[in-house]
Each structure stands twice: as C-alpha cells, then as structure tokens.
Amino acid sequence: KAGVTQTPRYLIKTRGQQVTLSCSPISGHRSVSWYQQTPGQGLQFLFEYFSETQRNKGNFPGRFSGRQFSNSRSEMNVSTLELGDSALYLCASRLTRNEQYFGPGTRLTVT
C-alpha cells in the first residue's frame, strides 16, 4: 500500500506570494492533518480534515487555509507569505483514532 505523498517536495517563494501544497493520504484513510515544523517551535498542528470537513484548527492566522476533496486528497494554502512561514509542512493521514502516518513533507523557503 502506498504511503502518504506530498507535492511538491521543495518550494521557494517570495514574501507576499501565496502557495498551495498538496497531500494524498493512504488509500482508505479519510482523515488528513497538517503540521508545521520549525526549529524554534517544533511541530505545531495546523488543521484536520475528515470527509471534506475541517474538524479542528490550530492557532494559526487566517492566511493558512485548507480543504479536502471527495477522494480525501487535501490541499493547504498560505497567502501573503512571510519569512516566518519558512518551514517543513507535514501531512498525516489516519484511519479512525489509530496510528497517524506522515508524508515526507514539503520544505517551503520564503525569501
């Protein structure tokens, strides 16, 4: 069974631009969560989607948004990029409340 896939793997953007990241969960997993990882703050929860509905949201500004499609694939969008948005963005999928499986991440660099 294929694991969680994320595209693109690397991105370089300029301040003020917007970016869209994509995540495909493991087949059959309907829950997708997004996390931001930075050296200073560690891993922080962004949001979780289940059956196309956002169920939980972390403490991030409204510039961070996401959505989930009927095939469970998810996208997250960051608008008006800031230097502090440079991070590794990780997506995870799971089946019910069991083990979470993470993708390889998207490394975003904002210059």
Q: What is the binding site for other proteins (CB under 8 A)? A: 4, 6, 31, 33, 35, 42-45, 48, 55-56, 58, 88, 90, 92, 97-105, 107
CB-nearer residue toward other proteins: 38 or 80: 38
Are the CB atoms for 71 and 9 separated by under 8 Å? Answer: no
Minimum gap (Å) between residue 104 Cβ and other proteins: 4
CB-nearer residue toward other proteins: 6 or 24: 6
C-alpha closest to that of 34 among 58, 11, 9, 10:
58
Q: How far is CA 82 from CA 5, 18, 43, 98, 111, in A?
A: 25, 10, 18, 34, 8
Minimum gap (Å) between residue 71 Cβ and other proteins: 20
Buried b (16+ CB within 10 A) or exposed e, 56-71: eeeebeeebbbebeee
Minimum gap (Å) between residue 41 Cβ and other proteins: 9
CB-nearer residue toward other proteins: 9 or 15: 9
> Can you read off the two tokens belonging to residue 8?
């693109």
CB-nearer residue toward other proteins: 4 or 19: 4
